[in-house]
């Protein structure tokens, strides 16, 4: 696997130098901004998106609220699972960080001594973005866009190859989608039990909303059932 990091006619390395070269020409303050955004900023923004989606779902009435919250809960859990899956992948590939094998890179953050493939940051952000998309299309598209920006930032910072972030995108997406049916089946009963709890029910449904009111999003399964009942009446 060491050949992955070799230079020459390698588009992966060429693209690494092209993107990281932008850091050399950028002002110092901009590089510091990119360092924060790429290391922490986008991850914190993604968590904010998940919380915003949770607040939106809680205000919806309808019988499917608990299942929607359960599906949303799977997004951060899937991100954690994907990072755990990445542990043996990194150990098997053993790809050094790009600055180890290539000179002249502008490395914006130090202390990266672990292996490079695949990128944990790209895996985390894309997993949460795709998981969010399953529940809320608009916020999910924004989340996926943040994941793509995260991947760019990691290469810009000189700590990952482009294929590291592409691998992270693939890993995060695969874990979310492949395990989603099992995760939803396990998490939905838990969410419904929490919903019935007098003390913890607010986690699933905001006060003033009711499962009997069918104020649901058009196009959803619950919305289709509601339309069928209205037509039948």
pLDDT digits (tens, 9 = 90+) for 2-14: 444 444 578 999 9
Reported as a single tens digit per residue, the pLDDT across 146-173 is 999 999 999 999 999 999 999 999 999 9
Average pLDDT over residues 47-57: 95
What percentage of the chain reaches a pLDDT higher than 70? 84
Q: 3-state DSSP call for residue 43?
A: helix
- Check pLDDT > 90 for residue 206: no
Contact status, residue 34 vs residue 23, Cβ threshold 8 Å: yes
Confidence of residue 68 (pLDDT cuts 50, 70, 90): very high
Between 57 and 4, whose confidence is greater?
A: 57
User: What is the gyration radius of the CA atoms in the chain, in angstroms?
Assistant: 21
Round to whole Å and give the CA distance between 192 and 205.
10
Mean predicted lDDT score pLDDT of the chain = 86
Please give the Cα distance from 156 to 55 (Å, whole number): 34
Q: How many residues does the chain have?
A: 233
Nearest to 127 by CA among 87, 91, 89, 77: 77
218 has a pLDDT exceeding 60: no
Higher pLDDT, 63 or 205: 205
| Alpha-carbon span 181 to 223, nearest angstrom | 21
CA distance 60 to 5: 50
Q: Which of 1-10, 38-47, 107-116, 125-134 has the lowest mean pLDDT?
A: 1-10
pLDDT tens for each residue of 92-115: 999 999 999 898 999 999 888 899
Buried b (16+ CB within 10 A) or exposed e, 154-184: bbbbbbbbbbbbbbbbebbbbbbeebbeebb
Residue 117 corresponds to which tokens in the numbers above?
């493939």
The dihedral through the CA atoms of 84, 71, 166, 98 has a sign that is: negative
What pLDDT, on a 0 to 100 scale, did the predictor assign at position 232? 45
Instruction: Give per-residue burial for 96-120: e unless 16+ CB within 10 Å, then b.
Output: bbbbebbeebbebeeebeebbbbbb
Q: What is the pLDDT, as a whole number, of residue 210?
A: 58
Q: What pLDDT is attached to residue 60?
A: 78
Sign of CA dihedral 181, 184, 186, 189: negative
Can the peptide bond before residue 117 be classed as cis, meaning omega within 30 degrees of 0?
no
Average pLDDT over residues 130-146: 96
């Amino acid at each position: 696997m060491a050949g992955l990091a070799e230079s020459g006619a390698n588009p992966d390395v060429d693209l690494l130098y092209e993107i990281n070269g932008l850091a050399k020409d950028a002002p110092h303050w901009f590089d510091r901004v990119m360092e924060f955004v790429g290391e922490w900023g986008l991850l914190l923004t993604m968590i904010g998106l998940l919380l915003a989606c949770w607040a939106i779902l809680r205000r919806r009435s309808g019988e499917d609220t608990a299942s929607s919250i359960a599906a949303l809960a799977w997004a951060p859990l899937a991100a954690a699972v994907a990072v755990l899956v990445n542990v043996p992948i990194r150990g098997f590939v053993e790809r050094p960080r790009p600055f180890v094998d290539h000179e002249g890179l502008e490395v914006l953050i130090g202390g990266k001594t672990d292996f490079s493939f695949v990128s944990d940051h790209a895996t985390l952000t894309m997993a949460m973005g795709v998981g969010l998309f399953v529940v809320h299309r608009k916020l999910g598209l924004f989340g996926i866009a943040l994941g793509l920006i995260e991947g760019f930032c990691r290469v810009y910072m000189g700590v990952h190859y482009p294929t590291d972030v592409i691998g992270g995108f693939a890993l995060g997406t695969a874990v979310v989608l492949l395990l989603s049916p099992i995760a939803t089946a396990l998490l939905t009963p838990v969410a419904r039990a929490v919903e019935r709890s007098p003390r913890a029910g607010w986690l699933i449904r905001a006060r003033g909303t009711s499962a009997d009111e069918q104020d649901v999003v058009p196009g959803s399964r619950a919305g289709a059932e509601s339309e069928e009942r209205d037509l039948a009446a």
